[in-house]
Structure 1
Amino acid sequence: MFRPTQKEFEFNTALIILYALSKGPAHGYEIMRRIEEEFFIHKSPGILYPSLRKLVSMGYIEVSGQGMKGRKIMRIYKITESGVKFLESHMQRIEFIKRFFKGMRIFESVGGSRVREAIFKLVEVLPSAGEDDLNLLRSYIDVFVKSLEDLRNRILSRGE
């Protein structure tokens, strides 16, 4: 499964946050809501708040106010001019990220989670597999990957 490096993950997270703030100032929970709405992913507070602090230190966002909700301090974040410029220079990547996560959501809705679960169940027993089992697995993977590539090409050919 594709996994971005830590630097790519942090870079993508920063862009996603900047994009959410390009819609207007917001507190952390509103930023998380915007991200889920636009990108179909959840950024947990444990990811969001360290990223917000880093973006503030870089000058891409600023705290434009704060209020209290119960005993919690809620900071309002606002994108800065340099943040807008940085975001604008990476809009192609934002569009890619949006397409990718929308595609992942669609994949999950048509049974992709079943594929993931089946792979994890198989991986658990692979240490007990014999050479014949591994050869069969190779052939199943070849057929599956070829089918996915054929479907991708079919979809692409209709888009032209």
Structure 2
Amino acid sequence: MRFFGAGDLRYVILQQIADKPSHGYEIIKSIQEQLGGMYAPSPGVVYPMLTMLEEMGHATVVSDGARKLYTITEEGSKSLAENKAAVEAIFARMDRARSEQGSDRSPQIERAVENFRMALRMKKGPLTTEQIHAITDIIDAAAKQIERS
């Protein structure tokens, strides 16, 4: 699903780091929560955008262990201010999409489900029979707990 138009995600990310310096993964999760779990930009889109913002002088990055922490620059703040109407329109569209989506699940549950999916996708290589059994046991136990709560 293509949720953002050309250039929209740049402003969303700039606003995110203007509100709070963040790591790429935090930005992805924040956008997903703002959209009620109906969409999350992929790392393959967000990280190159962060690099582009840094190269444009709109963001700075500092190493925070193995991760990078992105912060808006004065130039980035100026860009947000110059495009205030467009930025507000993008966030209004995000708010409408979240409310129209009408999910009964909370954004926190949507985030947790997406984290679960990501953990499964990140499991690389062929799994042993023991690993498959362990994963299915964990999933079955979680499903049973949810059914009973």
TM-score by length of 1: 0.55
**Distance verdict in 2 for CA 1:102–1:54, change over 3 Å:** same
Cα distance in 1 between the residues matched to 2:35 and 2:47 = 18
C-alpha distance after superposition, 1:65-105 (max 9, x if no partner): 3312xxxxx11111111001101111211211111122122
Q: 1:19 aligns with which of 15, 18, 24?
A: 15
C-alpha distance after superposition, 1:33-68 (max 9, x if no partner): 222344544221011011011111111001123312
Aligned residues: 100
Larger relative contact order (Cα-Cα within 8 Å, sequence gap ≥ 6): 2
CA RMSD of aligned residues (A): 2.2
Contact 2:35–2:97 (8 Å) recurs in 1: no
Report percent identity of matched pairs.
Answer: 32
Q: 1:34 aligns with which of 30, 34, 40?
A: 30
Q: 1:44 aligns with which of 31, 36, 42?
A: 42
User: Does 2:93 match 1:97?
Assistant: no
Q: 1:56 aligns with which of 54, 57, 69?
A: 54
Structure 1 match to 2:64: 66
TM-score by length of 2: 0.59
Contact 2:34–2:98 (8 Å) recurs in 1: no
Code of the residue aligned with 2:93 in structure 1: it is F
Larger Rg: 1
